[in-house]
Structure 1
Amino acid sequence: MIILSILAMTCLVFLSRYLFLEPRLPLRLSPGVQKLLSYSSPAVLTAIWAPIVFTHGNTLNASAHNPYLWAAMLAGIIAWKTKNVLLTVVVSMAAFLVLNLIVWG
């Protein structure tokens, strides 16, 4: 049953990607749907990072001693100013490591 479920999900994911990525198929999305889909990436990323940054042990942790919050704010500022993904990731990870191990370790 598990193998059948995995195969069914594989087929579903492949077909949903294939329909939109194959240039020979006449399927095109309207501009309104394309604009609506442009919000899906930020929404999914926010759903991933927000619980990591703001919660610890199933409680809200928005204190000044939260290294996740400081590193996330730094990452946001660096991304906004430089628009360089690699620099943002490396500097914010280093800042998190320093804050977590040395400052509040």
Structure 2
Amino acid sequence: MVLLSIFAMAALVFISRYLFLEPKLPLKMSAKLQRLLTYSSPAVLTAIWAPIVFTNDHQLQLHTHNPYLWAAILAALIAWKTRNVLLTTVISMVVFLVLNLWVFA
């Protein structure tokens, strides 16, 4: 049953990608739908990072001893100022490591 579910999900993902990426298919999206789809990436990324940063053991963690929160704030500031993904990722990961291992240990 699990194997069948995996193959069904793989087929669904392949078909949904194929419909949008195959240039020979007469599938065109309206400008309104294209504009709506520009919000999907930020929405998915927020759904991934927000629970990691703000919760721990199903409780809201907004205190000053939360290394996830400090690293996220720093990453947001660096991304806003530099607009460099690699620099933002490396610096925020190093700061998180330092905070997690030495400052808040």
The reply to whether TM is greater than 0.5 is yes
Alpha-carbon distance in 2 for matches of 1:103, 1:4: 48
- Once the two structures are superposed, the pairs formed by residues 14-29 of structure 1 within 5 Å of their partners are 14-29=14-29
**Helix, strand or coil at the partner of 1:26:** coil
Shift of 1:3: 2.3
Gaps of 5+ in 1: none
User: In structure 2, how many angstroms separate the alpha carbons of the residues matched to 1:6 and 1:95?
Assistant: 38
Relative to the length of structure 1, the TM-score reads 0.95
Runs of 4+ in 1 over 6 A off after TM superposition: none
Partners of 1:100 and 1:5 in 2: CA distance = 38
Quote the RMSD (CA, aligned, Å): 0.9
Write the letter of the residue equivalent to 1:104: F
1:88 aligns with 2:88: yes
| Structure 2: 5+ residue stretches without partners | none
Aligned residues: 105
**Counterpart of 1:49?**
49
Per the alignment, residue 6 of structure 2 pairs with: 6
**Deviation by residue 1:11-65 (Cα, 9 ceiling, x = unmatched):** 1111110000011111011011111111111011001100100011111100111
Identity over the aligned pairs, expressed in percent?
69
The 5-angstrom pairing of residues 60-79 of structure 1 reads 60-79=60-79
Given the two structures, how large is their TM-score scaled by the length of structure 2?
0.95
